[in-house]
Structure 1
Amino acid sequence: MLYIVATPIGNLDDITFRAVDVLKSVDVILCEDTREALKLLNHLGIKKRLISYYRDNERGRLKTALSLLLEGRDVALICDRGTPGVSDPAYLLVREAYKNNIPVTPVPGPSALTAAMSVCGLPTDRIVFYGFLPRKKGKKRKIMEELREREETIIFYESVHRVKETLGFIKEVFPDREMTLCRELTKKFEEIKTGNVSDVFEYYKDKEPKGEFVIIIRGKN
């Protein structure tokens, strides 16, 4: 059995009872970063065999993971934070499992995407989720200009290193839209800033950004 297990995005108390039971019961845990996984597992008092499984080695580790599953081992896939498959590796392994008649089950729980949607104060019945925008400025602007024409609420992640640059692009491309910027959700320094794009840009203009960000922009009226 392959278990796709959601883990906390910040507050370790957000782990579900079922996730704990699954992590205790499986033979192997595939994890994005073994160091991050150990923090969680040590907190839970769980000792398991860990195999690193992240975007850059995903294709190379597929064979190893599939071999374990074909041997009848129970395997859990986790990412550093949140739900695998939401801007983190999962789909290639899940697809191969199905091809080989290996059962797959989700162990749902925390996700930065759904957490941000729940507190953004914007319509979320229809959304466009883009994950992380391209790093190159030209590609990033092109994507934003395409998204500008969408009526759905737009959601994407951004890293601390590029968030100020991205906010500058948002101000140029979506000057009159409402937006919400969520930072460090569920953590000690959680911050949720809502308002007009220009207001949010001004709020962060002179601040040194810290943490992980989810950006939500209202769609075209």
Structure 2
Amino acid sequence: MSGTLWLCGTPIGNLEDMTERLRRILGAADVVYAEDTRRARVLLERAGSSARLRSYFVGNETSRAQELQDDLRAGKTVAFVTDAGMPGVGDPGLTAVQAAREIGAAISIVPGPSAVTSAVALAGMGDRFAFESFLPRKGKERTDRLQTLAAEQRATVIFCSPKRVLADMSDLASALGADREIFAARELTKMFEELWWGTLEEAIAHWTDTEPRGEFTLVIQGAVPSTSVDWQEAVAVVEREVAAGTSRAAAVREVADMLGVPKNELYRRALAAGTQ
């Protein structure tokens, strides 16, 4: 009988976010495949696990996938972890799932913290979003991806390393417009966590003056629909609803749905008009 592959969501920076279920599954595992065995060893010690530890990353995933299949065929309980967050979402894990499916092994999951959903919640740009992981580094693939993002009406979540974040922000500003709203989460859940809201132009200025450190999760505001929007009239409708006794938030939702415009952009404009 085949074993079970457990995809384990791990803390994204703070080990206090480790769940009891994660401790139990890691403690019961015969072998743990990890993106970085050094980081995983700290996690296993915290869980009190004595499982055999094997590396599994982009450079060795072909051979490790075969080894993982052998472990599953032998009936072993196999756990898969990455440095932070959920395997297969911007991190290794896809080929492990494919390998387990090829031999008909059981697959299950231990949900855990997510930089993606945490950033979306903090950004305040709505609950519809697209996840892009890391942008392509160069060439036509990068250019095409940026052009696609320029027209994307949902918020977009992007991962950035500290070495690439300014280049990514600069190219995003060129493709999407320097005035596009952005939320940047740096070192989420860690001691030096930083949460920042503004435009791409302001973000570039901020991290030009302040050296980028740690991992970044960016949420970029979606594009305004191509149809022309009379923002002055839209704000006026919101103000009339507010004057009639509707809360500003409810008025913004109603008018945004009616006109098909981004709620957060209308709210920002209505709020600014109300303070003038």
Instruction: Give the Cα separation in 1 of the matches to 2:11 and 2:162.
Output: 19
Q: Specify which of 85, 95, 98 is matched with residue 95 of structure 1.
A: 98
Q: Secondary structure at the match of 2:151?
A: coil
Once the two structures are superposed, what CA deviation does each residue of 1:111-167 show, in whole Å capped at 9, x if it has no partner?
211111111111222x22111112226643432122101111111101111111111
Q: Secondary structure at the match of 1:201?
A: helix
Q: Secondary structure at the match of 1:62?
A: helix
Instruction: Give the aligned residue type for 1:165.
Output: A
Q: Specify which of 165, 170, 181 is matched with residue 172 of structure 2.
A: 170
Structure of higher RCO (CA pairs closer than 8 Å, 6+ residues apart): 1
Aligned structure 1 segments of 4 or more residues deviating by more than 6 angstroms: none
Instruction: Give the Cα separation in 2 of the matches to 1:95 and 1:169.
Output: 34
Instruction: Give the Cα separation in 2 of the matches to 1:33 and 1:170.
Output: 30
**Residue in 2 aligned with 1:20?**
23
Contact map agreement 2:66 2:99 (CA 8 A) in 1: no
Once the two structures are superposed, what CA deviation does each residue of 1:149-204 show, in whole Å capped at 9, x if it has no partner?
11111111011111111111122222221110110000001011112222222221
**Residue in 1 aligned with 2:183?**
180
Across the two proteins, how many residue pairs are aligned to each other? Answer: 220
**Residue in 1 aligned with 2:156?**
154
Work out whether 1:3 is the aligned partner of 2:6: yes
Instruction: Give the Cα separation in 2 of the matches to 1:158 and 1:11.
Output: 19
Paired-residue identity, %: 36
Instruction: Give the Cα separation in 2 of the matches to 1:67 and 1:85.
Output: 21
**Residue in 2 aligned with 1:197?**
200
Instruction: Give the Cα separation in 2 of the matches to 1:47 and 1:117.
Output: 36
**Residue in 2 aligned with 1:52?**
55
**Residue in 1 aligned with 2:253?**
none
User: What is the TM-score normalised by the length of structure 1?
Assistant: 0.94
What's the C-alpha RMSD, in Å, of the aligned pairs?
1.4
CA drift of 1:98 comes to 2.0
Q: Which runs of 5+ in 1 are unaligned?
A: none
User: What is the TM-score normalised by the length of structure 2?
Assistant: 0.76
Q: Specify which of 216, 219, 222 is matched with residue 216 of structure 1.
A: 219
Structure number having the greater helix percentage? 2
Contact map agreement 2:186 2:194 (CA 8 A) in 1: yes
